[in-house]
Amino acid sequence: MLGLSRKDTSFLLIVIFLTLATPLLLQPFPEDSALAQFNAGYPDLMQRFAIFGIFAIGFNILFGLTGYLSFGHAAFLGVGSYSAVWMFKLLTMNVIPALILAVIVSGLFALLIGYVSLRRSGIYFSILTLAFAQMMFALAYSVLTPITGGETGLQLSLNDPRILGVSQTPEGNIPVPHLFGLEMRDSVQWAVGGWEFTFNAGYYFCAVIAILVFYLSMRIFRSPFGMMLRAVKTNQTRMNYTGLNPRPYTLAAFVISGMYAGLAGGLMAAMDPLAGAERMQWTASGEVVLMTILGGAGTLMGPVLGAGFIKYFENIFSKINDNVLHAWFAFLPDGLEDVVVAIIHPFVGKGWHLTLGILFMLVVIFLPGGLVEGYRRLTRAFRRTPRPDPRRDPEHHPGPVPHVGE
Amino acid sequence: MGILEIKGVSKRFGGLKALDDVNISIAENSVHAIIGPNGAGKSTLLNVLVGKLVPDAGSVTFENQSLLGRKPYEINQLGVARVFQTPEIFGDLSVFENMLVPLFAHRDGTFRMHAYETIAAERDIVAAAEAMLDEVNMLEKRDMHAASLSRGDKRRLEMAMCLSQEPKLLLLDEPTAGMARADTNNTIDLLKQIRDKRDITMAIIEHDMHVVFSLAERVTVMAQGTPLVEDAPERIKGNPKVQEAYLGGHG
Amino acid sequence: MASMADMGGGAAIGRRLINVGIGLAVFVGVWMLLRLIGVSSSGIVLQVLNGLEKGSAYALIALGLTLIFGTLGVVNFAHGALFMLGAFVAVTFNGLVGLSYEEVDPTRTDFLGNPAVIQTPYVEAWFGEAAGQWMIDWSVPLSILIAVPFMALVGLVMERGLIKYFYKRPHADQILVTFGLAIVLQEIVKAIYGANPIPTPAPDAFQGSFDFGVWLGFDANTILYPYWRLVYFLFAAVIIAGVFAFLRYTTFGMVVRAGMADRETVGLLGINIDRRFTIMFAIAAVVAGLAGVMYAPILSPNYHMGMDFLVLSFVVVVVGGMGSLAGAVAAGLILGILQSFASMTEVLELVPGINQIIIYLVAIIILLTRPRGLMGRKGVMEE
């Protein structure tokens, strides 16, 4: 179906189901329970899951397939955000033109930066992309303030020209982004028992786009083009002597991943119509690298998992403060309660970075293939049956190639 | 007029003359061996032929087209394939995918953006890849990770990848280097089979005289960057100049 | 240093001379350009001096980074954190010598009329008032004595406890795990010292500025250079010279250099190269730590200063050429000087915003014209 193998089709269907059911699945604890803190089913966070998922899926097309490690991809995200906000300011609050412009402009930037940076490989390529992104970040902050809004960022105002729309709503407010009238911030609440679920238009818009681009990346992974990209990663010498020019392949991958990043940036602006330079800083580029490697570079699902993992931590762990901790451990005797809270305190709330750093280290040390590798090991452990394993001796009976993806 | 004409090619590295006025003509559908002691300039010559090095002087023409200034992938597209001393294959791809890459390159040229098509839909290419794997007796290994193949299998896979592009000229850089006797003999048999079945020209750079004398129709002996003798293999054996080049202390 | 090892032959020396010539020509060109847009000669000299101070901090961090890369083949993203730890050794020592006990002095009263509470630092009580005050005043240089063993220990623990398991792993894994470590280290520091910068003064003797202009024959007060920056630059020069001399003239250093050039062969000679590389890691940690200690009076230490310096140091290493020590030092100083040139008002009027991007711009130009940086070797980190 859809040009995918049977296995891939069912995989895609599972992904679609999980994405659409996210508002239910991420809200497993009743509102008044102590664990409600761990619920992640609120629109803002779910939107971020989808948006950073798209960013990481795109980054993975470059890094996971070709092995070229870009340290400047956040620049395209920022460019996407700025383009989208300008579209809101000048043309219409409908998100479609904004997203189209975001993708086109970031694609152009990626073409330019990729064309220059791909003249070098390895760490030299990484530093070139880092340098371009840092330059764009610095310029957005300083000289380009008329276009980017400088330190305050680019925001909508009450007197934007907006050709196909109104500058102000009748109530005198700035209009909000919408999809043909469906406002991105519209939500439906659904309370069942102690649970409360929020179905948000913005999230579902992001989710549908995320599913589309996930499907697209699946097609790329399985296509001859995807195979060529993996060939670039494994042996450029043979590639050259096979009559293939690796440069346009890597450039195409770079531009595609830049467009994914631009799309993610455009969506960020569509959910919350402002754009700031800090989105382009190297730490933001580093974040998508971490997401991809943490989840499992070169796998289909890995980057999405990595993005979800990091964003979940950022939002949930950072909110656990001492009051919450005391509430959790209130059942302990007072002295013990204080001790336990004091032990946990450095790892949560403002210290969530510490937990994240430790988790990074643990994952890299023990799960070199990322979270996807962890999942594979788990399923293998459960599936282990007494039947003899023909793959015992890799020297003489090598196993089948692990299929890309899963 | 040979299929490959090397005329007056010279190449210097700093003070060292790696190639000095090399003239070699390789006849179509022949097996031509280039031998010589270490430092004779064989590898430099090969790198000039494939476009990795640009000579200081001279010309290299393949089917009357100059190869100078062309990139390795452009030279391959003209119909020149190369087998490396250590097999160069796509280690992270499966054996089957290793076969697909050259077939796509042969059909589509140096670049094509087929990002939305599926491999399975390319029936002709899949069939050609399977046929080629069958020819080198590797069909049952099609789903193996190429990096996990034995050295001999890697060599056969690389050979199959080159042949699948139906090259007019196959360059072989010490194809049996570091191989055990049995593997060497297998490779010789494979090369003989290729020579007899196809219209193909082969240029072999080789150290191992056993390989040279069982395969080649012409032999060029190089020493100190310049061709010393060119003759039929049986006459090369007794040539005093050749003996001097190998034993005379140049190596 | 790598280039030092494979130097030899007239061609190499010739190439080196040409490079030095190009460098000089660029420098003279920049000088003339600056004069042309109306910068005074003394202004240029001042910016060169300012650049040397910042550049020597880059150079010290980059030196350690490239040393670790050249010896162990590890890309260490936690190196900036070592710099930060060094700065906090100074902060800690400064805090410790300042610790005091309280005494009620019944003879005096404070402004509210209560008996005055006199704070006496312990060091003054123990070593006498003069010696104690001297220790408080000189806390930053004195903390070097603690920083050396502490940073060496940190380096050893890091290498033996974590890095050694990553020698054979891909560079991406090394980057990720050391990045994680950097986050952990900086969060620990944040948990202990808080998020705000902690001012850590230099000794009184080095307060104020030094009139360099008079020395060089310019008018008085044209080139005022803070003493401590001068101290920092000289300190960096001594450390760099020390590391180079150590690698050049000791047997240990010779083995390490040989190992950097060809690890396998040295290993085959029966030399335990790994032990020496471990020690080099500790030395690199000490160098970064000392760079941090002495930088504390220039930039009040905060927990994220390591990350801020790391990215630029990384650019410096790559511009210098991965694995080349001399390249790292040269690139650090060059980029530092160019950055202070670009911060001059005359330049900024001409090219707004150039001070923000100059380092990256130069990095791009150098990497595009010299594929492996200023002094890099072929084939290093290009996969």
Q: What is the maximum span of chain A, computed from C-alpha positions, in angstroms?
A: 76
Of C187, C363, C382, the CB nearest to A121: C382
Q: Which residues in A lie closer than 8 A to residue C315 (C-beta atoms)? A: 127, 130-131
- What pLDDT, on a 0 to 100 scale, did the predictor assign at position A319? 82
Nearest CA in chain A to B125: A224
pLDDT mean over A18-31:
87
- What pLDDT, on a 0 to 100 scale, did the predictor assign at position A403? 44
A357 touches chain C (CB under 8 A): yes
Could you read off the pLDDT of A142-200 as tens digits, one per residue? 889 899 988 889 999 888 888 888 888 888 888 999 999 888 888 888 888 888 888 99
In degrees and rounded to multiples of 5, residue C308 shows phi and psi of: -60, -40
pLDDT mean over A237-241:
93
Q: Which residues in A lie closer than 8 A to residue B83 (C-beta atoms)? A: none
Residue type, C184: V
Q: Partners of C226 in the beta sheet?
A: C209
Taking CA atoms, B65 is separated from B56, B68, B116, in Å, by 18, 9, 36
Which of C165, C176, C310 to probe by mutation at the A interface, max A CB count within 10 Å?
C176
Of C187, C315, C353, the CB nearest to A127: C315
H or E element in which residue C89 lies: helix C79-98
Could you read off the pLDDT of C297-311 as tens digits, one per residue? 988 999 988 888 888
The alpha-carbon radius of gyration of chain A (Å, integer) is: 23
Give the CATH number of the domain where residue C229 resides. 1.10.3470
Of A223, A237, A244, the CB nearest to B118: A223
A241 contacts B88? CB cut-off 8 A = yes
Chains interfacing with A (3 or more CB pairs < 8 Å) = B, C
User: CA angle at residue A111 from A109 to A117, to 5 degrees?
Assistant: 100
Domain count across chain C: 1
Could you read off the pLDDT of A193-211 as tens digits, one per residue? 888 888 999 999 999 999 9
Q: Which residues in C lie closer than 8 A to residue A127 (C-beta atoms)? A: 314-315, 318-319, 363, 367
Domain count across chain A: 1
Q: At what angle do helices A43-66 and A302-316 cross, to 10 degrees?
A: 140
Asked if the structure places residue C133 within a domain, the reply is no
Instruction: Choose among C318, B33, C195, C153: nearest CA to A131.
Output: C318
Q: Which residues in C lie closer than 8 A to residue A67 (C-beta atoms)? A: 383
C367 contacts A116? CB cut-off 8 A = no
Token couple for A372: 């996807």
Share of chain B above pLDDT 70, in %: 98
Token couple for A153: 């960022």
Token couple for B147: 């990096």
Asked if the structure places residue C272 within a domain, the reply is yes
Q: Which residues in C lie closer than 8 A to residue A322 (C-beta atoms)? A: none
Of B73, B93, B114, the CB nearest to A230: B93
- What pLDDT, on a 0 to 100 scale, did the predictor assign at position A234? 92
Q: Are B88 and A240 in contact (CB under 8 A)?
A: no
Domain with C85 in it: 41-98+138-369
- A29 CA: distance to closest CA in chain C (Å): 30
| pLDDT higher at C32 or A266 | A266
Nearest CA in chain A to B165: A242
Give the CATH number of the domain where residue A170 resides. 1.10.3470
- What pLDDT, on a 0 to 100 scale, did the predictor assign at position B90? 95
- What pLDDT, on a 0 to 100 scale, did the predictor assign at position A392? 41
Asked if the structure places residue A389 within a domain, the reply is no
H or E element in which residue C307 lies: helix C305-320
Q: Are A327 and C154 in contact (CB under 8 A)?
A: no
A 49-88 residues inside an 8 A Cβ radius of C: 67, 69
- What pLDDT, on a 0 to 100 scale, did the predictor assign at position A395? 40
In degrees and rounded to multiples of 5, residue C372 shows phi and psi of: -115, 35
Nearest CA in chain B to A66: B92
Token couple for C43: 């202004």
Is residue A65's pLDDT more than 60? Answer: yes
Of A135, A139, A368, the CB nearest to C173: A368
Token couple for C125: 């009580």
Sequence-ordered list of residues with C-beta below 8 angstroms from that of B220, at least 6 positions apart, any chain: B24, B32, B33, B34, B35, B227, B229, B230
Which of A347, A360, A366, A371 to probe by mutation at the C interface, max C CB count within 10 Å?
A360
Chains interfacing with B (3 or more CB pairs < 8 Å) = A
pTM greater than 0.90: no
Q: Are A163 and A91 in contact (CB under 8 A)?
A: yes
- What pLDDT, on a 0 to 100 scale, did the predictor assign at position C381? 60
Instruction: Choose among C358, C255, C228: nearest CA to C1.
Output: C255
C352 contacts A294? CB cut-off 8 A = no
Token couple for A64: 């996971």
Residues of chain C in Cβ contact (below 8 Å) with chain A: 75, 162, 165, 169, 171-173, 176-177, 179-184, 187-188, 190-191, 307, 311, 314-315, 318-319, 322, 352-353, 356-357, 360-361, 363-364, 367-368, 371-373, 381-383
Which burial class, exposed, middle or buried, applies to A343 when counting CB atoms under 10 A from its CB (0-12, 13-18, 19+)?
exposed
Instruction: Choose among B35, B12, B20: nearest CA to B176.
Output: B35
Q: Residue holding tokens 């050794």? A: C89
User: CA angle at residue A389 from A387 to A393, to 5 degrees?
Assistant: 155
In degrees and rounded to multiples of 5, residue B18 shows phi and psi of: -80, -40
Length of chain B: 251
The sign of the dihedral angle between the CA atoms of A228, A231, A232, A238 is negative
Q: Are C246 and C253 in contact (CB under 8 A)?
A: yes
Q: How many CB atoms lie within 10 A of CB A214?
A: 21
Residue extents of the structural domains in chain B: 4-91+167-247
Residues of chain B with pLDDT under 50: 249-251
Nearest CA in chain B to A221: B115
Distance CA(A239)–CA(B53), nearest Å, equals: 17
Could you read off the pLDDT of B42-101 as tens digits, one per residue? 888 998 988 888 899 999 999 999 999 899 999 999 999 999 988 999 999 999 999 999
Nearest CA in chain A to B49: A241
Beta strands B4-13 and B57-62: pairing type? antiparallel
Residue pLDDT tens, chain C, 383 long: 344 434 344 556 777 788 788 888 888 888 888 888 878 888 888 888 888 888 888 899 899 888 888 878 888 889 999 999 999 999 999 888 888 888 777 777 777 777 777 778 888 878 877 888 888 888 888 899 999 999 999 999 999 989 888 888 887 788 888 988 998 999 999 988 988 898 888 888 888 777 777 777 777 777 778 888 888 989 999 999 999 999 888 888 888 888 777 777 777 777 777 788 888 899 999 999 999 999 999 889 999 888 888 888 888 888 888 878 888 899 998 899 998 888 888 888 888 888 888 999 999 998 888 877 888 766 566 65
ipTM: 0.91
B114 contacts A224? CB cut-off 8 A = yes
Which of C66, C75, C167, C357 to probe by mutation at the A interface, max A CB count within 10 Å?
C357
Q: Which residues in B lie closer than 8 A to residue A5 (C-beta atoms)? A: 120
Q: Are C183 and A352 in contact (CB under 8 A)?
A: no
Q: Partners of B25 in the beta sheet?
A: B5
Q: Partners of B172 in the beta sheet?
A: B83, B204
Q: Which residues in A lie closer than 8 A to residue B168 (C-beta atoms)? A: none
A249 contacts B122? CB cut-off 8 A = no
Q: Which residues in B lie closer than 8 A to residue A219 (C-beta atoms)? A: 115-116, 118
Q: Are B116 and A219 in contact (CB under 8 A)?
A: yes
Q: How many CB atoms lie within 10 A of CB A338?
A: 14
B4-91+167-247, superfamily in CATH?
P-loop containing nucleotide triphosphate hydrolases (3.40.50.300)
Taking CA atoms, A133 is separated from A34, A74, C65, in Å, by 43, 7, 22
Beta strands B4-13 and A274-275: pairing type? unpaired
Mean pLDDT rounded to a whole number for chain A: 87
Asked if the structure places residue C125 within a domain, the reply is no
Distance CA(A348)–CA(A37), nearest Å, equals: 12
Asked if the structure places residue A78 within a domain, the reply is yes
Region of poorest pLDDT, from A81-85, A343-347, C359-363: A343-347
Q: Which residues in B lie closer than 8 A to residue A4 (C-beta atoms)? A: 118
Which burial class, exposed, middle or buried, applies to B127 when counting CB atoms under 10 A from its CB (0-12, 13-18, 19+)?
exposed
At C196 the three-state DSSP class reads coil
A220 touches chain B (CB under 8 A): yes
Residue type, B82: R
B 20-39 residues inside an 8 A Cβ radius of A: none
Domain with A218 in it: 6-280
Q: Are C370 and C319 in contact (CB under 8 A)?
A: no
Is residue A385's pLDDT more than 80? Answer: no
Nearest CA in chain C to A289: C176
A274 touches chain B (CB under 8 A): no
pLDDT mean over A312-341:
83
Beta strands A195-200 and B226-231: pairing type? unpaired
Q: Are C29 and C36 in contact (CB under 8 A)?
A: no
Three-state SS annotation for A254-304: HHHHHHHHHHHHHHHHHHCCEECHHHHCHHHHHHHHHHHHHHCCCCCCHHH
Asked if the structure places residue C264 within a domain, the reply is yes
Q: Which residues in A lie closer than 8 A to residue B149 (C-beta atoms)? A: 398
Asked if the structure places residue A69 within a domain, the reply is yes
- A141 CA: distance to closest CA in chain C (Å): 9
A238 touches chain B (CB under 8 A): yes
In degrees and rounded to multiples of 5, residue A244 shows phi and psi of: -115, 140
Asked if the structure places residue C20 within a domain, the reply is no
Asked if the structure places residue C129 within a domain, the reply is no
Q: Are B209 and B84 in contact (CB under 8 A)?
A: no
Distance CA(A280)–CA(A136), nearest Å, equals: 8
E strand segments, B63-126: 65-66, 80-83
Instruction: Choose among A264, A238, A228: nearest CA to A65.
Output: A228
Is residue A55's pLDDT more than 90? Answer: yes
- A365 CA: distance to closest CA in chain B (Å): 22
Distance CA(A205)–CA(A199), nearest Å, equals: 11
Asked if the structure places residue A369 within a domain, the reply is no
Asked if the structure places residue C346 within a domain, the reply is yes
A195 touches chain B (CB under 8 A): no
Which burial class, exposed, middle or buried, applies to A20 when counting CB atoms under 10 A from its CB (0-12, 13-18, 19+)?
middle
Q: Which residues in A lie closer than 8 A to residue C80 (C-beta atoms)? A: none
Residue type, C54: K
